[in-house]
Amino acid sequence: MAEAVGTQKISVTVNGVKYEREVNVRTLLTDFIRRELGLTGTHVGCEQGVCGACTILLDGDAVRSCLTLAVQANGRSVTTIEGLGSPEQLHPIQEAFREKHGLQCGFCTPGFIITVSAYLAENPDPSEHEIREALSGNICRCTGYQNIIESVIEAAQKMKAIEPAT
């Protein structure tokens, strides 16, 4: 069947599952993930690229899904917070945030954790200063930054214990 005007068929792998959908070309990736796929762990704060709450991984890179069109994810791989761990088996970064009380209301937490996962993949042994810089694009309205930093330090140690340097 032909595509409707202003729509495009896309194929996106989200958290390891391939989805094929016809979307309006103006649909934001945030809305595609949350409304079309029902993955509401990706939060929406500012909707203008400032707060970082909507951060997801696109082919391993941390991107703002509120500044990305769903059609830009065509043929690519997306990871949301739901793809990192499970309630039964938290991802080490999630575990570190839990242990170090790196969240209060939790609204910003998915964005922080996704940002941290991309950052630690590139820099597994960051200094506190580097962590602060890496997280400067994520806003926590509860202002629990100190515990977030401690969570990331703990997360880096947990990740190193799993994947020792070669």
Would you call 148 helix, strand, or coil by DSSP? helix
Instruction: Report residue 57: phi and psi, to 5°.
Output: -95, 130
Nearer to ligand FES, 47 or 160 (CB): 47
Binds ligand FES by CB under 6 A, chosen from 26, 49, 127, 146: 49
Pick left, alpha or beta for residue 73 (phi over 0 → left; psi -120 to 50 → alpha; otherwise beta). alpha
Binds ligand FES by CB under 6 A, chosen from 22, 25, 26, 46: 46
Give the CA radius of gyration of the chain: 16
Nearer to ligand FES, 49 or 124 (CB): 49
- Beta bridge partners of residue 22, listed in sequence order: 9
| 50 part of the interface to ligand FES, by CB under 6 A | yes
Nearer to ligand FES, 1 or 138 (CB): 138
Q: How far is the CB of 46 from ligand FES (least distance, A)?
A: 4
- CA 149: distance to chain centroid? 17
| 35 part of the interface to ligand FES, by CB under 6 A | no
Pick out residues in 108-147 that bind ligand FES (CB under 6 A).
108-109, 140-142, 144
The residue range among 48-56, 91-99, 125-133, 149-157 that interacts with ligand FES, by the rule CB under 6 A, is 48-56
Binding residues for ligand FES (CB under 6 A):
44-47, 49-54, 64, 66, 103-109, 140-142, 144
